[in-house]
């Protein structure tokens, strides 16, 4: 069974990469093309826990190079095609230079699946608001296409209905990351956590209670809120994905439904806020097709 799985991966990886390379035009991959598949079975997670190797093969680290040439990882992202990474707009800095894929343990220099690729272009959403962090998403363009494997592959984006209209309230999607924030704090090992999705009305009430509602549109349908005390996006990466399992193409695959945008640290009773990916599918498709 494992041999069949590896062979299948090689076949679809070559088909997808060759298709894109032949035209230099990219499209978001479908479950039939292998997006969103994890070789690891994910049971219910209580609190944050270290992820197994290869559990989230689309996870990306965003690297920044300082004046001395040193590279630091300050945000996360998700691989959405062989050449594109989705992240948060607020992660865009002039020093952003690199995407790392295939990482698991930042302290383990013997890992052999790591791929570092220069970023040659960035496209942030044109309507990003610094005030209320709405439209907090961006697409990074890598210098070259990455070769897919069991530890590097793209996540699915909810292109079609009914997933584009699903609200996910009361579901428990996954977040993963090294605990990176734009301030640079981190865990060396990739962590994963399940977070409950709240209604936007409840989310607004919680932020209003701490006087952190700054605009009328802050909690509209373009955002998604998730988390409870001790289980929040503070355990994930800025720009990293919120991931929901769905049955498609005869198996469970993961769709990205959110991009980690902001929270109030790890404050009690205040959920994390995510850019809702379903709202931006058309914009994302346009960016990867450029």
d(CA 63, CA 231): 26
Our answer to whether residue 84 is catalytic in this structure is: no
Which of helix, strand or coil describes residue 217? coil
Q: Select from 102, 148, 101, 114 the least CA-distant residue to 6.
A: 148
In the set 84, 90, 104, 125, the catalytic residue is 90
- Residues contacting 178, CB < 8 A, separation 6+: 61, 73, 76, 106, 186, 187, 188, 189, 190, 191, 237
Dihedral sign computed on CA atoms, order 200, 204, 206, 207: positive
Measured in whole angstroms, the distance separating CA 13 from the mean position of its chain's CA atoms is: 20
136 noted as active-site residue = yes
One of 38, 78, 238, 261 is an active-site residue; which one?
Answer: 238
- The neighbouring-strand residues paired with 260 are 274
Are 163 and 278 in contact by the 8 Å Cβ rule? The answer is yes
Instruction: Tell me whether residue 238 is one of the annotated catalytic residues.
Output: yes
Q: Which residues on adjacent β-strands are paired with residue 72?
A: 64
Active site residue ranges: 90, 136, 238
């Amino acid at each position: 069974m494992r041999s069949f799985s590896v062979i299948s991966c090689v076949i679809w990886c070559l088909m997808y990469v060759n298709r894109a390379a032949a035209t230099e035009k990219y499209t978001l991959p479908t479950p039939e093309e292998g997006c969103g598949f994890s070789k690891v079975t994910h049971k219910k997670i209580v609190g944050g826990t270290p992820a197994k190797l290869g559990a989230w093969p689309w996870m990306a680290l965003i690297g920044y190079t300082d004046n001395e040439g040193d590279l630091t990882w300050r945000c996360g992202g998700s691989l959405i095609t062989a050449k594109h990474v989705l992240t948060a707009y607020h992660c865009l800095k002039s020093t952003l230079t690199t995407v790392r894929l295939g990482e698991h343990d930042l302290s383990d220099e013997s890992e052999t699946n790591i791929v570092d690729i220069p970023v040659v272009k960035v496209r942030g959403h044109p309507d990003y608001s610094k005030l209320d962090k709405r439209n907090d998403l961006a697409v990074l363009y890598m210098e070259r296409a990455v070769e897919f494997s069991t530890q590097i592959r793209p996540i699915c984006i909810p292109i079609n209905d009914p997933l584009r209209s699903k609200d996910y309230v009361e579901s428990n999607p996954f977040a993963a990351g090294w605990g990176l924030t734009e301030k640079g704090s981190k865990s060396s090992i990739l962590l994963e956590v399940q977070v409950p999705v709240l209604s936007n009305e409840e989310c607004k009430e919680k932020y209003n209670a701490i006087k952190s509602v700054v605009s009328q549109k802050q909690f509209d349908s373009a955002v998604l809120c998730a988390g409870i005390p001790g289980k929040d996006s503070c355990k994930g990466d800025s720009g990293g994905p919120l991931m929901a399992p769905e049955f498609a193409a005869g198996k469970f695959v993961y769709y990205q439904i959110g991009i980690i945008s902001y929270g109030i640290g790890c404050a009690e009773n205040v959920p994390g806020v995510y850019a809702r990916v379903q709202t931006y599918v058309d914009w994302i498709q346009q960016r990867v097709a450029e």
